[in-house]
Structure 1
Amino acid sequence: MEESKAQKQIQQLTNKIERYNYQYYVMDDPEISDFEYDKLLHELIALEEQFPQFASETSPTRRVGGAALNTFAPVRHEVQMGSLQDVFDPQELIAFDERVRDKVEKPVYIVEPKIDGLSVSLEYRDGKFFRGSTRGDGITGEDVSENLKTVGSIPMTLTKPLPLLEVRGEVYMPRTSFEKVVARQIENEEEPFKNPRNAAAGSLRQKDSRITATRGLDIFVFNIQRIEGTEIFSHKQSLEYLKELGFKVIPSFKSFINIQDAICEIRSIGENRYGYAFDIDGAVIKVDDFAQRNQLGATAKFPRWAVAFKYPPEEKETTLLNIEIKVGRTGALTPTAVFEPITLAGTTVSRAVLHNQDFINEKGISIGDRIIVRKAGDIIPEVVSVAKHQEGAVPYQISNICPSCGSIAEREEDQAALRCVNMACPAQVARNIVHFASRDAMDIDGLGPKIVHALIDAGYVKSTADLYGLDIQKVISIERMGEKSAQNLMTALDKSKTRDLSRLLYALGIRGIGQRAAQLLAQHFGNIDDLLAADAQEISQIEGFGGIMAQSVVDFFALKENQKLLARLRDAGINMYGEKKVSRDTLGGKTFVLTGTLPTLTRNEAKEKIEQAGGKVSSSVSKKTDYVVAGEDAGSKLTKATSLGIEIIDEAGLLQLLENQ
């Protein structure tokens, strides 16, 4: 194909796909089937691969995610992304109205739902998406453009080529997407997200935008931060104009000329909050006219022209009928409350995790009790307390017999959970294999829970080592496994043999050894044989390791079953070496405490940087603390550090320490 023809076809396909994206994601009115859409997208992908010089940075093909990023660059907001003052009582809304009317005449209010998500800025130049960033501390955020490109409702090209436009929106995870993500996490025995807001924040900060693309994120745009090329005079006008430009704007906004009608609308939003497909944590009331907003101004923390009304969580009483015990990947026996069905947050629930025996004892939970239940983050059911005990009730005791295999379950010192000690326990085998194959472990693409269970049921796999004894014919024989899928799985298994030792150590599921601990082990010892030769004392000398973690490693490799497993994995050709890294020692063993939200670094990222430079991160402030790194909303730790005379620095100060020492 000639270049000129290819360029024209790429542009035509781009325009067509963007129109279909708008109809699907913004208008919720798809024009074509998913099959037809996928055909067009694959046609565009093929053309862009053949003629990369014509592939735009805002191409619809970027929706599926691109290469992994090493870091998120800081972005300084030209217009500060502030927060709103929270109110919790209608009387506070009346007081707000009185303050407004003291300054301006005849204000019109806009009331809209407050989306429980993550605030972002979207910037456009000449009508094209230029950059997207997080709110951060309101002044400096992070560049998450590649991840935002995967959000289908964000237009890459505006309907009008404005010279400059910056808008603010709320990225959120719809409830259906959240439930799917949590279900996958629970299936893989990962720590599930607490609520859709945390899930949205975690997904938007993924270093690999391909992961973000799988999370089903969405956005509502609710504010114009900067604009060139036209004038806007009110909030309502701005929302209508943003619609014209192709944005998905905040839903069901309404205007009112008196506070009582506005309060009725806020009450109505609260009563119908569970009818939305997404989480809201309140309603926002804003003065509509921009000139009046300028008259009202702002305090040091909040604008005077808007407040956010917050709704309390819904709690209901029900009867506890039973407690069921599930055996997890590590053998932990997890109790689940089964109660009379109740409606919470718009759905019927009848089960809630009780965590462990300590949780049951703390709340004094007995079968037959009247219990108070709510949904954490309006999604995950949890038992809050006991409303009324039956006469003579005693707290439920988890049996020390494994319900899956009948073996003894033990509670180790300093551990909250009872654990089945039988390594061959059927309930543990499948979960061990799923964990072994997971993305952060050996990353065996295509080996999900359903395939694992099918392989076990067929008798092909009884341990992780059996995976490497599979052949194409066995895999093809699994139900719904075609030849191409089978070949892909065999390729993924072969590829997993080259993973770094740290991946293998994490994949083995050693109790208490997460990704970071596995990396430290691999970096310190460099190969599996040196690790096997080490005792608990030597392992505990690694910075970040304690005696319990070190002993857990030694105990794991001391078991004959695990020695046989390791030998079989070695025979299968699994890599047993890691990159032995020597970290800088610029911080010379100094102790840091992190508090508040940092502008560009997550808590884990800051911790990792400190530890790599030889420092130590503590969770509490004491006289032994050398520095407290304080971010936005720093709390009691900052107060205590001040009273003890400990040096307090911000993120910039920390980065300077890392660079200069």
Structure 2
Amino acid sequence: MKQIEPLDPSGLSQEQAQAEFLELQTQLAAADQAYHQNDAPFLSDAAYDAAKRRYKVLAEAFPELKDIATQLDSVGAPVTSGFGKIQHVVPMLSLGNAFEDSDVADFDRSIRNYLGFGASQPLRFTAEPKIDGLSLSLRYEKGVLIQAATRGDGATGENVTANARTIADIPQQLSGAPEVLEVRGEVYMSHEDFAALNARHTERGGKTFANPRNAAAGSLRQLDAEITRLRPLRFFAYSWGDLSAPLAQTQTGAIERLHELGFQTNPLTQTCASVAEMIAHYRQIEAQRATLGYDIDGVVYKVDDLALQGRLGFRSTTPRWAIAHKFPAELAWTRLEAIDIQVGRTGALSPVARLTPVTVGGVVVSNATLHNEDYIRGRDNKGEEIRGGKEIRIGDWVQVYRAGDVIPKVADVDLTKRNGDEQTFDFPETCPECGSPAVREEGDAVRRCTGGIICPAQAIEKLKHFVSRKAFDIEGLGAKQLEMFYNDPDLPIRTPVDIYTLEQRDLGQFTKLKNRPGWGDQSAANLFAAITEKRNISLGRMIFALGIRHVGEVAAKDLALHFGSWEDLASAVDAARSAALAHRAADLAEDQERERASSEGRRAKIKETREAALSVLELHRTAREAWEDLIGIDGIGATVGLSLSDALANMQERAVIDDLVAQLNISAPAAPSQESPVAGLTVVFTGKLEKMTRDEAKARAESLGAKVSGSVSKKTDILVAGPGAGSKEKKALELGIRILDEDGWLAEIAAS
């Protein structure tokens, strides 16, 4: 089937894109838990595997959204209580996705750019089928299998050692292996064995499995290992984690070594010398997909040279040196029954298509996003035609796809099926939640409610974000409970601080709460205990939880690391904001000075103005330094700085934040290791680096505990200047900042 492109995001505004991100996060989190923890996915493999593509598309179009894409920072799901926990010595990360041939070319190009390789410089990759099963880690010490663990959330997995020992493909002892060897691979079930298993269950009147992946996952995660022993599980080894000695110098050599040690490895693994060879092997595997006898959902490419893998390293949840080239998803046609408007956390009005239920990629779909009012009319935000200029009307037959998103999209309209009963949709100009005007600013694609905190939809969404997993993560206080409390006349929760006064307002004895449906003494006690526990919070999580526009998890951590306390951050933002005010005042003073030449009679007043201007300009210099320091933090910039400034300058929002801070015990980020000579120092890189790329230099500095900034200020400790250094080097000289060339920097960190 032809691959469907994700809808062009150029017609979306920041507000529209952010609203979509937040909705995606909720659905992805639920899908992660269903897939990894409950072995009962409600999304098809193709739909979930392609889900994060839309994230990537939006993040590329709106870079500031990368900070709030929390589900891209998640791997798997937390372990369940039925198994013991095992901490992975080396995290078990997920892979980035490619969906088009051009994505594979981009992958190759990004690696070359990171390593500083030219387009003609040799670079080899391995290409292997991506098995659709359950990831498993096997730890051997002195050749003996001592433990097995699922991936879990990437950092902590479930102890399934007894179950893994029952799988015939997993050796119990190894000969000639390193003293410590952690083998990683995929547990799966063949199509033939899956059919036989379901047949046996049917004969006995038992439950059948939906697909081989569910069967494999459910079998491996049995609390009774004897049940696992009766299930026909298989295992392919394809990687490794903790090692006491290298297996080989290349990925190919390491896989061959695993095979020699007794592990099953995939015979379709091949080494490729170019993007063309990688894609050709992908096509070959895709053509064999139906006859392999086991499920695969793509092809994985890895840099073959292990030394280069080491240089490339990892992002937060994915390796830079590998990517999964996924197989296409599906699409379907159905009738558009209605269009509803949803209001997001930022006030964006998002149209949602209500559809006659249809199966797309094995999942029943009844809702789909329509993006914004321009998209419904067949236009982008510049007025240019999209979708051939075809307007979407209620009653139309529409094409729905899931190729790049958990949330389905309406891709096209079939005009030949119109019968004249279709209705044009008039986009509302008032908020359906609070009745406030819904304003669309010039040049913006989204219409937004102006109600702010009086709009219940915005308030509730902000509260949901506040208690989300990456924020305060208060157990027992989820979306459903927040909606109940928001509308509760006696125990309302309208702002985050209301959460921390809830027990006090309940008289401390569950007097009010326990009498509500679904609540009793124990559940009320559990909730209040969970709230009390989360009075202790790290600064980064607290900043992220505030839901300030553009301030996502990564930006929040960067701010926390740079300032160390909420008080210092707030003071810096307040000082930075005065820069703009002082600048305007200084401009006014300059205008008045120019007026002096033509109005000699106002000299006395002008003298006062001039003295005031000097004071204002001095304030301006101080404020300007604060502003440059704030936006100079690597990864922050003016967009985040202005959002922070606007949020803290809003008197109502600031009052809520101040009241919240008074209720919390906020911990500062952990101090950097003192073993590094650059730990805690602020470093700026400028000019051309010749022995490493800028990305490598930044990653190395941060791994040693240094803060990397994008601009030079009084707080800069070291400027690393390569050839072509310009204004930053000049400013560093003026401020007396220590300047090193690239060799000097490498010597500085050599001991680390």
Q: State the Cα RMSD in Å.
A: 5.8
Match of 2:513 among 475, 498, 501: 475
Whether contact under 8 Å (2:237, 2:265) holds in the other structure is yes
CA distance in 2, matches of 1:514, 1:60: 28
| Alignment partner of 1:337 out of 338, 350, 353 | 353
- Out of 533, 545, 550, the position equivalent to 1:495 is 533
- The answer as to whether partners of 1:168 and 1:221 remain within 8 angstroms in 2 is no
**Are the equivalent residues in 1 in contact too, given 2:148–2:164 (CA < 8 A)?**
no
C-alpha separation between the residues in 1 aligned to 2:478 and 2:448?
25
1:456 maps to which of 467, 486, 496: 486
Q: Which residue of 2 aligns with 1:524?
A: 563
Given that 2:92 and 2:155 are in contact with CA atoms closer than 8 Å, whether structure 1 keeps it comes out as no
Q: Distance in 2 between matches of 1:266 and 1:420?
A: 49
Aligned 8 A contact 1:525 1:531 in 2: no
Q: Provide the TM-score with structure 1 as the length reference.
A: 0.50
State the shift of 1:373 in Å.
1.8
Aligned pair in 2 of structure 1 residues 516, 480: CA closer, same or farther (>3 Å)? same
1:405: how far off? Answer: 1.0
Distance in 1, matches of 2:698 and 2:481, equals 33
Residue number among 574, 599, 602 corresponding to 1:533 in the alignment? 574
Question: Cα 1:507–1:61, aligned 2, differ >3 Å: closer, same or farther?
Answer: closer
Instruction: Structure 2 unaligned segments of length 5 or more: list them.
Output: 1-37, 40-78, 94-99, 102-127, 189-212, 214-232, 239-254, 268-284, 301-323, 381-385, 504-508, 580-625, 672-678, 712-720, 724-741
Determine if contact 2:357/2:365 at 8 Å carries over to the other structure: yes
Alpha-carbon spacing, 1:524–1:567, altered in 2? closer, same or farther (3 Å): closer
Q: CA deviation at 1:121?
A: 6.1
Structure 1 segment 191-590 matched on structure 2, within 5 A = 221-223=235-237, 266-267=289-290, 280-281=297-298, 312-357=328-373, 360=376, 361-362=379-380, 363-364=386-387, 365-368=391-394, 369-376=396-403, 380-388=407-415, 398-411=427-440, 416-422=445-451, 423-459=453-489, 460=491, 461-471=493-503, 472-473=509-510, 474-522=512-560, 523-524=562-563, 526-528=565-567, 529-531=570-572, 533-536=574-577, 537=579, 538-539=626-627, 541-542=629-630, 543=633, 544-571=635-662, 573-575=663-665, 578=668, 583-589=680-686
Change in Cα spacing, 1:611 to 1:316, as seen in structure 2 (3 Å) is farther
Change (3 A) 1:385 1:375: same
Q: How has the CA–CA distance of structure 1 residues 424 and 170 changed in structure 2, closer, same or farther, with 3 Å as cutoff? A: farther
In 1, the alpha carbon distance for the partners of 2:437 and 2:670 equals 40
Kept after mapping to 2: 8 A contact 1:124/1:131:
no
**CA separation of 1:413/1:440 partners in 2, compared to 1, >3 Å: closer, same or farther?**
farther
CA distance in 1: counterparts of 2:286 and 2:669, whole angstroms = 61
> 1:119, CA displacement in angstroms?
6.9
Mapped to 2, the partners of 1:352 and 1:341 lie a distance apart of: 11
SS in 2 for 1:349: strand
* Contact 2:297–2:326 (CA under 8 A) maintained in structure 1: no
User: Once the two structures are superposed, what CA deviation does each residue of 1:385-411 show, in whole Å capped at 9, x if it has no partner?
Assistant: 445486999996643321111112334
Post-superposition Cα deviations, 1:577-628, rounded to whole Å, max 9, x if no partner, equal 7459784334535689xx99x9xx9x997896599542559xxxxxxx989x
How many residue pairs match? The answer is 428
Taking structure 2 as the reference length, the TM-score comes to: 0.45
Q: Distance in 2 between matches of 1:384 and 1:230?
A: 50
* Distance in 2 of aligned mates of 1:113 and 1:413: 49
The aligned amino acid for 2:477 is L
SS in 2 for 1:535: helix
Rounded Cα–Cα distance in structure 2 between residues aligned with 1:486 and 1:132: 35
Q: Is the 8 A contact 2:347 2:449 kept in 1?
A: yes
Q: Residue 440 of structure 1 aligns to which amino acid in structure 2?
A: K
Contact (CA 8 Å) 2:135, 2:184: kept in 1 or not?
A: yes
- Structure 1 gaps of 5+ residues are 1-23, 26-58, 75-85, 88-111, 135-142, 173-196, 198-218, 238-261, 284-307, 618-624, 628-648
CA pair 320-152 structure 1, distance change in 2 beyond 3 A: farther
SS of corresponding position for 2:408: strand
Counterparts of 2:445 and 2:640, CA distance in 1: 15
Q: Deviations over 1:116-144 (max 9, x none)?
A: 4787764545552457799xxxxxxxx99
CA contact (8 A) 1:65 1:146 kept: no
Q: Any idea what the Cα deviations from partners look like across 1:265-311, whole Å, max 9, x if unmatched?
A: 855889xx9xx8xx83599xxxxxxxxxxxxxxxxxxxxxxxx9985
Change in 2 beyond 3 A, CA 1:626/1:429: farther
User: Is 1:163 aligned with 2:174?
Assistant: yes
Match of 1:338, SS?
strand
Amino acid in the other structure paired with 1:407 = S
For residues 448 and 658 of structure 2, the distance between their equivalents in structure 1, rounded to whole angstroms, comes to 26
Q: 1:525 to 1:394 in 2, by over 3 A?
A: farther
Contact 1:318 1:370 in 2 (8 A): yes
Report the CA distance between 1:359 and its aligned residue. Answer: 5.2
Instruction: Give the alignment partner of residue 85 of structure 2, picking from 57, 65, 69.
Output: 65
The structure number with the bigger radius of gyration is: 2
Distance (whole Å) between structure 2 residues aligned to residue 342 and residue 452 of structure 1: 32
